[in-house]
Amino acid sequence: MKIRTNLMIDAEKKAIFEALQPIHGKTMSDILDDALDSVIGDVAPDALLELQIQDYEIKLATLKQGLVEAKYFMSQRNGRTKKEQAKSQIKEDLDSRLASIRNDLYDEHKKSLAFMVKRKTIDWKHNTNLFQFSNTSETQEYIKTKLITDGLL
């Protein structure tokens, strides 16, 4: 814990210190802390060590708290990732099964589908339900593409 203190120092020393700050990179607080550590270390080294131990214990507690929070966030992220992977796998399985069902239906009905498409008598709504598409444009694209690929159109 830091406290504010008022100091009386030589103005010339302060000016020189501030001019040299880009070189040494220390603040007045840093210099005062170092000087206090030096004096306390000379007079009562055990008190200085106790202060340093307290500082390290505070830093260690802060790091441990950070570690606990990091582990918590990682477990949350991993939990979400596992759920997302499971959902993705289920979706892939469903898509694969649906594609297989669509291909089987197409193979079974391709000649009659080609006949109806050529004569423009096909019921796209019925086939949308049959092939389990969400709309008729997807159904038309799927069936026409397959018929063209098979050379039936």
Closest Cα partner for 144 from 122, 101, 94? 122
pLDDT at res. 116: 92
pLDDT at res. 75: 80
pLDDT at res. 78: 75
pLDDT at res. 95: 84
In degrees rounded to 5, what are phi and psi of residue 133?
Answer: -95, 160
pLDDT > 80? residue 79: no
Output DSSP code: residue 135.
Answer: S
Percent of the chain whose predicted confidence (pLDDT) is above 90: 46
118, 153 in Cβ contact below 8 A?
yes
* Cβ-count burial 23-55 (b if 16+ within 10 Å, e if not): eeeeeeeeeeeeeeeeeeeeeeeeebeeeeeee
Q: What angle do helix axes 45-119 and 136-149 make, rounded to 10 degrees?
A: 70
**Each residue of 24-74: pLDDT tens digit?**
999 999 999 999 999 999 999 999 899 889 989 989 988 999 999 898 888
* Confidence (pTM): 0.45
- The Cα 99–Cα 103 span in angstroms is 6
CB-based contacts of 28, cutoff 8 Å, min separation 6: 7, 17
Domain boundaries, the chain: 44-149
pLDDT > 80? residue 81: no
- What's the farthest any 2 CA atoms get from each other in the chain? 106
pLDDT > 90? residue 23: yes
Instruction: Locate 35 and state its tokens.
Output: 């000087």
